[in-house]
Amino acid sequence: MAVSLRIPEEIKRRVEKLAQARDTTAHAFMVGAIEERLLAEETRAAYHAEATARLSRMKKTGKGIPAGEVFDYLRQRVKGKPAARPKARKIA
């Protein structure tokens, strides 16, 4: 698929400068930038899909872990202390 982009002159200059500094072509630099953005957006979409699925499951089952317990658990782990992983239970 052929693609044509109209890129403002200022951006073209910036791309060319950075591409030269990295010993690559402007084309390769732009393709890499697009690939990075795609990966970031796909990762973000997957994260949101997982969060939506988990929220749906929590609403369906009525089970969850209060945020305070999760944060307490993580604080203990960060300090290198043993901590029992909190368990999901019915939330009112």
Tokens of 47: 């994260």
Q: Which helix (H) or strand (E) holds 88?
A: none
Q: 30-72: per-residue pLDDT in tens?
A: 999 999 999 999 999 999 999 999 999 999 999 999 999 999 9
Q: What are phi and psi of 43, to 5 degrees?
A: -65, -45
Does residue 78 surpass a pLDDT of 80? yes
Q: What is the DSSP string of 47-74?
A: HHHHHHHHHHHHHHH-EE--HHHHHHHH
